[in-house]
Structure 1
Amino acid sequence: MRRHRRAKIVATVGPASSSPEMLKKLFLAGVDTFRLNFSHGSHEDHAKVHQAIRALEAELESPIGVLQDLQGPKIRVGTIRNGKISVSAGESIRFVPEGADGDAQSIPLRHPEIFAAVLPGHDLLIDDGRVRVRVTRVGRDAIDAEVIYGGIISNRKGVNLPDTMLALSPLTPKDRADLAFGLELGVDWVALSFVQKPSDVIDAKALIGDRAGLIAKIEKPQALDHIDDILRVADAIMVARGDLGVEIPHQDVPGRQKELVRAARLAVKPVIVATQMLDSMVASPAPTRAEASDVATAIYDGADAVMLSAESATGDYPVETVRMMDSIIRSTEGHKLYHSIVHATQPVTEQTPPHAVAAAAADLAEAIDAPVIVAFTSSGTTAARIARKRPVLPILAITPNISISRRLRLLWGVQGFHSKAAHGYDEMIAHAVETAREEKFAERGNFIVVVFGIPFGKTGTTNNLRVVQVGGA
């Protein structure tokens, strides 16, 4: 299913979108990758959705990506007497490691790693930052704090600690069980929540191996401090603006988004921009103008993909939301300033043969007005290197690995195509021409640019490009 846009759409599956009929409607409306949110739903629920997606893939003969999003550790206060307490700015309150039915002087916080790591001056944000307190004293059995922004603290509300590096693995026992289940299903991407440092990613990749790509969700200030190292070990990143927008000032989020998109592009790794992109469409058939502008901004930034959460999972208008996002992307990419803006942030080409060949292929294809670049790839890297240039024409990536063709559904400008392996130079060229014609990327007489590596099938050997006329002279 060819998309007439470059940026991709990720849609979360939930009660509003889990039926086979709705999944098909969403895919035809423009979804490239479906997200399974393991913070909700049972293994049985996710297995049924995965089976329906793979059946749809077979029916339409088009690869479809599946992203498993792990819940990660959730830090919450315990139970409060009468269910809630009201605190005011300037008031002194106390957190304790044990206890039940707490009050303002004994709020249960059953996370010993917080007591071990938090320091005076650090902030605790409760209920998505609606209540902010600042630590004044830390003891073995209590954390004293002053209320900065008052409000209601109720049972089991979440706690964010933007200033504190916690000795906390992003993989909880639940996540490990969910991950094993997801890998057995055959998910294509795994999103790791609350990454703080590169070792978090390394630990998860040790469990995943090459069975799926790993996406590091950037939602902690500590991850921002280590982003270059995280990008070296992750396969992709997600700008998870929900928790990130709680832990850093709201006004800093847009700039950080641009930094992260640029850093991912420089590292030749896909980047997803997520959270509340068309949030009003959960209950409305049309977005606000600000939301449409927000999606367009991510596209102008050069993001590989934009993501829908509640809009497609629980909203009243899942299909309409996908169509709207597709329309905004196509309109933005068709704007006369789009390519100049995206090219203005283009990273300098790395001085290696694979990067130089990929960059030259993009420039050559544009210079001869080719309708498509055909890239043979075994790992997806060749296609990613070409996509890094953000060429004006589509990239048709041919791979013998069905898993790679599905992962490429997340990559900017790339249309993944699963095919048998080519075993010789002439066979590869003939296959490129045949596929470009069959998939309606090129017509007889067109010149196309073909990129590949020799030895054939060996990862990281992008070293050849050729201009071929479709149908011969």
Structure 2
Amino acid sequence: MSIPSYRRTKIIATLGPATESEKQLTRLIESGVDVIRLNMAHAKHDWTREVIRRIRAVSKKVGREVAVMMDIKGPEIRTGDVAAPMELRPGEIFDFTVKPGGDRTNAEEIRSVDVNYRDLVNDIKVGDIVLVDNGLIRLEVRAKNDAHIRCCVLTAGTLSSRRHINLPGVRVNLPSFTEKDRADTLVGIEEGIDFVALSFVREAGDISQLRGFLREQKSSARIVAKIEDQEAISNLDDIIRATDVLMVARGDLGIEVPLQDLPIIQHRAVRTCLSVGRPVIVATHMLESMITQPVPTRAEITDVANAVYEQADCVMLSGETTVGKYPFECIRVMDSIARRVEEELAADFPEPAVFIEPRMKFMRAAVVMANEFPGARIVIFTRRGLAAAGLAAHRPARAPILALTDNVTALRQLRIVRSVEPYYIGVFGDPEKTLSRAIAMLRDAGRVQSGDKLVIISDVLTDSGDRVDSIQMRTVG
């Protein structure tokens, strides 16, 4: 297999009918996809088990371990079934029914649809805006009682069955981690998933609840917090510090907040993640037109490029690789945009972020040293992947981070971190012998050659049991 040359920005691809076969999975992994996402909003447990095992088998065959992210559905409000699509007209009065069979005045004159959340009437107030079907239909609440919410249609549209409802600015008292999420996550844990993406995170406590569940199940999966509504933006700093990874999920977020605020929120989220050393994913509608077209729009090209310029760790494909006609063209386009922008970033030579914590300052010293030597590589030994992720937070301008680990789980989880190329080296053992073995492995992989400068980060235990961090500079013989 020919592994693509170095790309700093990682690519997440969502699995679906267009990519789930063994043949297509092989193409995905060989094309340089780093993380494979499973969207549990549409997945059955039997399918989930089958495809995770297929991903692991194909990864082994290809010789490139990728991470598996389970994206759990989270709390969701939807309309019920309708006998036939309804055309809603501006100015029309329309009801959302929260108690089927409840008394309503003029019921025969007012059309309605059920909703799946019975306490919605308690959360919403007169004057609130209700958005249906990804914001295509807009209504305003005019009145309510214990049986229904009466609205006026502001924006016309066609209402069909089971459409998603968004409530901008409304605090909904649904649990962040539902019973369905619990059942789905248990399947993922049994199959050894690497990441759990928690939908509609509103506060740091939502993450703590999931983390407690993972600990109870003795799972080492990392948490990806998806920010998707206004409340999450209000609590953004706390959420970033509580989570392992942040996802800017621009689908629902773009409905919940004013459109003009969306790029500002994305920029703020990425900068905050960089300032505290959290990996960050930019997701949704990145190459949406390529679901049906072989080339992206110019705006989409710029959107992907902006995420790379902001130095996000990952960019993500959703419908493009689940049901799209051109999944591999999407990966190729995303890959080529990322590489080109990264060339420009290397030329601009941005300064590393400044951190207060002592060990992060130590990491910064290694990055500054590597930046001084064109063509240098940073080599780091890590067991859980945390040291390599901390190093990557400094965003080295030119040097790739070659992370050597004795832990396959850590290797997979490092697939989500910008600039890191993880390698499995087996048991570490004697430091000097381990380093020699690592250099030989990297030489065989074509990642280092004679004359290359290596900035090597490791720690050793003294006879008294103290850990001593060290930075070495070596030239490959």
Letter in 1 for 2:100: G
| Structure 2 SS opposite 1:390 | coil
Verify: 1:363 aligned to 2:368, yes or no: yes
Per-residue deviation, 1:94: 3.2
Q: How does 1:107-122 map to 2 (within 5 A)?
A: 107-122=113-128
Question: Conserved in 2, the CA contact under 8 Å of 1:300 and 1:341?
Answer: no
Match of 1:386 in 2: 391
Match of 2:153 in 1: 147
Equivalent pairs: percent with the same residue?
35
| Structure 2 SS opposite 1:351 | coil
Match of 1:324 in 2: 333
| Structure 2 SS opposite 1:9 | strand
Distance 1:454 1:220, change over 3 A: farther
Deviates more, 1:212-221 or 1:143-152: 143-152
1:414 pairs, out of 420, 423, 430, with 420
Distance in 1 between the 2:6 and 2:202 partners? 37
Match of 2:381 in 1: 376
Question: Conserved in 1, the CA contact under 8 Å of 2:90 and 2:155?
Answer: yes
Distance in 2 between the 1:10 and 1:122 partners? 36
Question: Conserved in 2, the CA contact under 8 Å of 1:85 and 1:154?
Answer: no
Match of 2:253 in 1: 244
Match of 1:265 in 2: 274
1:288 pairs, out of 285, 293, 297, with 297
Give me the CA root mean square deviation. 2.2
Question: Conserved in 1, the CA contact under 8 Å of 2:381 and 2:404?
Answer: yes
Distance in 1 between the 2:409 and 2:36 partners? 15
1:39 pairs, out of 38, 41, 54, with 41
**Number of equivalenced pairs:** 462
Deviations 1:97-130 (A, max 9, x none): 1227997454422413322222233221111111
Deviates more, 1:45-54 or 1:236-245: 45-54
Question: Conserved in 1, the CA contact under 8 Å of 2:377 and 2:452?
Answer: no
Letter in 1 for 2:202: Q
Distance in 2 between the 1:138 and 1:465 partners? 66
Letter in 1 for 2:63: E
Per-residue deviation, 1:186: 0.9
Per-residue deviation, 1:242: 0.8
Q: How does 1:12-51 map to 2 (within 5 A)?
A: 12-51=14-53
1:178 pairs, out of 181, 184, 191, with 184
| Structure 1 SS opposite 2:186 | helix
| Structure 1 SS opposite 2:350 | helix
Match of 1:96 in 2: 97
| Structure 2 SS opposite 1:403 | helix
Question: Conserved in 1, the CA contact under 8 Å of 2:65 and 2:412?
Answer: yes
Deviations 1:56-102 (A, max 9, x none): 2212322211111112222112244654241314x443333122799
2:194 pairs, out of 179, 185, 188, with 188
Distance in 1 between the 2:67 and 2:330 partners? 19
Deviations 1:393-428 (A, max 9, x none): 110111111001001111101001112232344234
Verify: 1:199 aligned to 2:205, yes or no: yes
Question: Conserved in 2, the CA contact under 8 Å of 1:374 and 1:436?
Answer: no
Deviations 1:264-306 (A, max 9, x none): 1222111111111111111121111111111111101111111
Question: Conserved in 1, the CA contact under 8 Å of 2:88 and 2:159?
Answer: yes
Distance in 1 between the 2:328 and 2:116 partners? 42
Letter in 2 for 1:16: A
Deviates more, 1:432-441 or 1:231-240: 432-441
Deviates more, 1:296-305 or 1:430-439: 430-439
Match of 1:61 in 2: 63
Per-residue deviation, 1:171: 2.2
Match of 1:465 in 2: 471
Question: Conserved in 1, the CA contact under 8 Å of 2:26 and 2:62?
Answer: no
Per-residue deviation, 1:14: 0.6
Match of 1:9 in 2: 11
2:350 pairs, out of 339, 343, 354, with 343
Distance in 2 between the 1:265 and 1:342 partners? 16
| Structure 1 SS opposite 2:73 | coil
Letter in 2 for 1:67: M
Match of 1:73 in 2: 75
Distance in 1 between the 2:108 and 2:192 partners? 44
Deviates more, 1:276-285 or 1:12-21: 276-285
| Structure 2 SS opposite 1:66 | strand
Per-residue deviation, 1:222: 0.9
Question: Conserved in 1, the CA contact under 8 Å of 2:29 and 2:59?
Answer: no
Match of 2:104 in 1: none
Question: Conserved in 2, the CA contact under 8 Å of 1:85 and 1:152?
Answer: yes
Deviations 1:338-388 (A, max 9, x none): 2476827x53x2222210111111110111335310111122121112211
Letter in 1 for 2:292: A
Distance in 2 between the 1:375 and 1:199 partners? 33
Question: Conserved in 1, the CA contact under 8 Å of 2:367 and 2:394?
Answer: yes
Distance 1:342 1:96, change over 3 A: farther
Q: How does 1:450-461 map to 2 (within 5 A)?
A: 450-455=456-461
| Structure 1 SS opposite 2:168 | coil
Distance in 1 between the 2:374 and 2:461 partners? 29
Question: Conserved in 1, the CA contact under 8 Å of 2:98 and 2:120?
Answer: no
| Structure 1 SS opposite 2:455 | strand
Verify: 1:398 aligned to 2:404, yes or no: yes
Verify: 1:449 aligned to 2:458, yes or no: no
Distance 1:155 1:433, change over 3 A: closer
